[in-house]
């Protein structure tokens, strides 16, 4: 063999040997590795410390517990919640997490991926969607994530979750989109709907962390798990996050969306009457004359089969979808009218403020009023931490439950109430659900009252 050819073959063989580890190393840079390296620095650890009031005696008997509450003051103890968050605006230091992670916290600390720790303030929180926005003020910009489009998610698509389960910082798990538009119970008669279901492991401490696609875009915020099941986790879609964050930053609260419809669930008898094979969809009971739906030609007796191209299950599903739509957005409905299906396009509006008093009077049978200093002193609460019942309609649901003028309203659903305007806003957001719960207080005694439709 010629000398030059031998030297060339030896050189080629040596080059191939050198390239093997490089190629092997390159092949290990999977999409998951790349996503974690890109998004990981924007994931933070959150600890929230506050004092909570607990009853010193709990027997399980409501009458006995009420007796103890009347004669024994609640005890206070310190409680710390741990969770995750993700930086969505590095210049302004804005962080998104779950509202339950920071609920009741008087001192909130945020630890970055580089171990720096900052005090954080709550810019806004929305317990109804379990989202909150925090802000820290570091020197210089921070890494941030890119927000994707949860409306484009596909069943079976790969997902990556990053968080701090059990305090173990920056833990990475992977999975797929198991289902979309899931609804999870969060309490008696209360739901969190429109969720992404995934089999990526989500454990305590993951709450508030990002759920990402293989392109490194945030498609959801991890929020809930079934404690009794394995491999089932949930996340709030990023499209809802965008809507909630924008409202919290601009208005301090989420503005209710209004189409001007009163609705009812379908049952098998009604479904059969309309020639439907199943009881999915909602029946229009009325359309407000000045509402977007009425202006688009909708009226009593129509059946809404889908919203935004996705089938509707019931009124609760409608309310959950509506909560993700911002005022001004275009809405596409598929309706059934006298056996014929047609699409209706309309533009959503903000719930009219002037309808709030009427909604409270008809649905609950009461008129709220601001809490004055004397009422706060009588009930031993901080000024601005509640409102009170001003008037009761005789024979109303509130009156039959034993409520009285002067009783305090502390929460609507999971949302604390500090003024009458906020009360009307939250009531409007819950108006389509079959049940609205109010946390009421009289003296030292507190109780949740549930108002059925």
pLDDT tens, 71-80? 555 556 666 7
Question: pLDDT band at residue 335, thresholds of 50, 70 and 90?
Answer: very high
In order of their start, the domains of the chain are 39-135 (2.40.10.10), 146-251 (2.40.10.10), 257-350 (2.30.42.10), 353-452 (2.30.42.10)
What pLDDT is attached to residue 226? 61
Lowest-pLDDT choice from 27-36, 54-63, 291-300, 304-313: 54-63
Do 330 and 307 touch, CB atoms closer than 8 A? no
The pLDDT tens digits for 358-416 are 999 999 999 999 998 888 888 888 888 899 999 999 999 999 999 999 999 999 988 88
What pLDDT is attached to residue 75? 59
Q: Per 3-state DSSP, what percentage of the chain is helix, strand, and coil (rounded to 5)? A: 25, 40, 35
What pLDDT is attached to residue 196? 92
Lowest-pLDDT choice from 103-117, 119-133, 219-233, 349-363: 219-233
Do 342 and 323 touch, CB atoms closer than 8 A? no
Do 365 and 396 touch, CB atoms closer than 8 A? yes
More confident residue, 69 or 107: 107
Mean pLDDT for 310-329 is 86
Give yes or no for residue 440 having a pLDDT over 90: yes
How much is the pTM? 0.81
Mean pLDDT for 419-434 is 88
What pLDDT is attached to residue 58? 58
d(CA 370, CA 386): 8
The pLDDT tens digits for 5-21 are 454 555 555 555 555 55
What is the CB-side half-sphere exposure of residue 94 using CA atoms within 13 A?
A: 16
d(CA 422, CA 419): 5
- Helix (H/G/I), strand (E/B), else coil: 226: coil
Query: What radius of gyration, in Å, describes the C-alpha atoms of the chain?
Result: 26
What pLDDT is attached to residue 60? 54
Mean pLDDT for 413-437 is 88
DSSP 289-338: TTSHHHHTT--TT-EEEEETTEE--SHHHHHHHHHTSPTT-EEEEEEEET
What pLDDT is attached to residue 48? 84
Residues labelled as active-site residues: 100, 130, 207
Cα–Cα distances in angstroms (integers) from residue 200 to residues 104, 166, 168, 203, 213, in the given order:
29, 16, 16, 10, 12
What pLDDT is attached to residue 420? 94
d(CA 245, CA 223): 16
- Helix (H/G/I), strand (E/B), else coil: 411: strand
Question: pLDDT band at residue 217, thresholds of 50, 70 and 90?
Answer: very high
Give yes or no for residue 214 having a pLDDT over 90: yes
Mean pLDDT of the chain: 85
Give yes or no for residue 225 having a pLDDT over 70: no
Mean pLDDT for 329-358 is 92
């Amino acid at each position: 063999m010629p000398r030059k050819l031998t030297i060339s073959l030896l050189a080629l063989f040596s080059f191939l040997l050198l390239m093997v580890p490089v190629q092997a190393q390159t092949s290990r840079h999977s999409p998951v590795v790349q996503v974690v390296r890109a998004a990981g620095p924007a994931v933070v650890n959150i600890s929230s410390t506050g004092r909570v009031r607990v009853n010193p005696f709990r027997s399980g008997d409501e009458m006995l517990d009420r007796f103890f509450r009347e004669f024994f003051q609640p005890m206070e103890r310190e409680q710390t919640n741990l969770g995750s968050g993700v930086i969505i605006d590095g210049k302004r230091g804005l962080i998104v997490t779950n509202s339950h992670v920071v609920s009741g916290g008087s001192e909130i600390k945020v630890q970055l991926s580089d171990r720096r720790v900052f005090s954080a303030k709550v810019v806004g929180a929305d317990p109804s969607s379990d989202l909150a926005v925090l802000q820290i003020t570091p020197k210089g910009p921070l890494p941030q994530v890119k927000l994707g489009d949860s409306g484009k998610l596909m069943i079976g698509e790969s997902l990556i979750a990053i968080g701090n389960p059990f305090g173990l910082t920056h833990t990475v798990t992977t999975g797929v989109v198991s289902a979309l538009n899931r609804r999870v119970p969060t309490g008696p008669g209360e739901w969190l709907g429109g969720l992404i279901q995934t089999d990526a492991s989500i454990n305590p401490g993951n709450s508030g962390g990002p759920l990402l696609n293989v392109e490194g875009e945030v498609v959801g915020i991890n929020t809930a798990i079934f404690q009794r099941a394995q491999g089932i986790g949930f996340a709030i879609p990023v499209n809802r996050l965008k809507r909630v964050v924008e409202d919290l930053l601009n208005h301090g609260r989420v503005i209710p969306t209004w189409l001007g419809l009163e609705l009812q669930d379908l049952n098998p008898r009604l479904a059969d009457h309309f020639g439907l094979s199943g009881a999915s969809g909602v029946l229009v009971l009325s359309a407000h004359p000045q509402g977007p739906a009425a202006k688009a030609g909708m009226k009593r007796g129509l059946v809404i089969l889908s919203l935004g191209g996705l089938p509707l299950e019931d009124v609760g599903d409608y309310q959950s979808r509506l909560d993700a739509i911002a005022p001004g957005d275009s809405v596409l409905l598929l309706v059934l009218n006298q056996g014929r299906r047609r699409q209706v396009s309309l533009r959503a509006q903000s719930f009219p403020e002037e309808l709030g008093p009427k909604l409270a009077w008809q649905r609950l049978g009461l008129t709220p009023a601001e809490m004055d200093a004397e009422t706060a002193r009588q009930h031993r609460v901080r000024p601005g931490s509640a409102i009170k019942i001003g008037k009761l309609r005789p024979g109303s649901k509130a009156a039959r439950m034993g409520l009285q003028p002067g009783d305090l309203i502390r929460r609507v659903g999971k949302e604390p109430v500090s003024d009458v305007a906020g009360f009307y806003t939250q009531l409007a957001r819950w108006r389509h659900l079959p049940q609205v719960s109010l946390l009421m207080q009289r003296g030292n005694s507190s109780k949740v009252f549930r108002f059925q439709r």
